[in-house]
Amino acid sequence: MAGKNVHSLDEANFEAEVINHAGKVLVDFSATWCGPCKVLAPIVGKLADEFEGTLKVCEVDIDRAPRLAQKYGVASVPTVMVFEGGEKKGTIVGVAKRDKLVKLAGL
């Protein structure tokens, strides 16, 4: 897990935690074997701490939730998506700096 404020998601809880959440949700699709994902994880963790209460931050291990990866078109990791009111608002593929993720989330 990337940090104490990062929620781990799978196919069983994704809809409840992301789609049914009224606010903004940043979802980091990653894999344990992915080097760039390990670079991005601390950045995502810091965002979760910094914007606690404003932005819900979650992670999905694509190896544990392959149907989610397929459903959302995750072809490579890391892929970060932002959802608001249950709808996907934006996507970044690859390692992104903090400022780019903040902008993607509209914060």
Choose the catalytic residue: 27, 37, 43, 62: 37
- 58 belongs to the catalytic site: no
62 neighbors 30 (Cβ within 8 angstroms): yes
Choose the catalytic residue: 26, 34, 55, 60: 34
Query: Residues with catalytic annotation?
Result: 34, 37
